[in-house]
Structure 1
């Protein structure tokens, strides 16, 4: 009897405790979770709430940065400053004379002009800047006037009149030729005064110099390669393969591995040479192949067979063997028996490679391939070599 009563009381207590727990979960737990979430969110927004009372102070700082200094005087001569340069350090204020005097060697700086209320966009051309060409920025002695006297024809006549909705700083000079420069910071209309010395008129004509530009581009590429290689006037001429970049991961005796302390036949020192053709790098048949000038014959990659043969010969040591293979993408286009014989998966020491590394380079090479299609044969190969040299350089940095 007593045992039965004890069990009943225990069961009743458990039911009561369960009912109280369920009531607490249903009523008080959501309140606690809400309070906890509110505390977490309070920490996130507290920084903004602390900043809000200071917002007007920050706004005043921004407005002060755009307001002219008091007094608004030229930093050089002390005269009335109406221009300030937003390209120069500390945004100095200049008068008109000091503005163009300080920017005659920096004609592409952006300036703003005081209109009585605020600084609005302007240009150095509106500040009477004249760009002198031919005498190191100074006026031409043959022009018959000094540097201060050279002005634009419309200097005193221009008005803040919108022509087709264009602001004055973006309007070309009227009744006068000007040089339009597309700069990274905007468009500049420059009042240019060319040299008027005898014999200088020929340099002002707009002849087509595209052919000369192509020649100079080839010269520049060759000179840059010679410079990177360490060539100079007293050094010997660069030999074959000396203008290509050194691969730091390629095992080469006496360069990045010792010559007599390693077994070069071991698979850890195996070299992977991949050769593939790019059928998008087409080339037009030259009109006069005999008159083409080769600047890098044998000093770059040049062609596939030449590059492969010299790559095998470069740094070879006794004990090394050539094991032919076919990339995993190309091998399926061969006979069935070629898969188990030439696939890299079955070549000892090849590792988990696809053998198609050259295919991944065509995407970057094909950016320049269409432009090189109509070039002379030497020029095309030099351009492709230069592009691949740049690709190899990016792998080392």
Structure 2
């Protein structure tokens, strides 16, 4: 029996995999059927693409947790006795994270960065920002020869704002070994290894502090 999690509930379906000599692995057969396996070794639970898309949308717009979403599916399948259904909460967490990563690679066109689509370029999973000044893309060819005046410098500056995001504390894992990075350095954050090397090399360097005092006449002149 194959446990199938769909938008209308949790079901058990009799399935028989192809065992021919040239047959693909069981997880590939499940993917060919439009389902996503919870494991690549011995497939016993699968999620439909529709339920994974629905969970990602509910998580984004309604801030629904994976536990609440799966409890809703259990209640939808058996309103009177939802506890008799199998608990696939951990499988939903793992598959939804993998599914989100695969869709991000699809939307960003990561397959064009590499012939096999295995290693996107650094920052390749991020959408292009037309507002950030980038030489050769949205800056004039001789932008460095512009007069060094306050009235012109602001056009070629990147302003970084540090915000006190207390939710970032939830990203700290108790065990670093359980934190598997699917896209290390391919998003907005830099690669972890060069970042740690930079921090270790510059942790004792003094930070220069510069203050700019401009009068009102200089700003609006």
TM > 0.5 fold call = no
Taking structure 2 as the reference length, the TM-score comes to 0.42
Higher relative contact order (CA 8 A, sep 6+): 2
Taking structure 1 as the reference length, the TM-score comes to 0.25
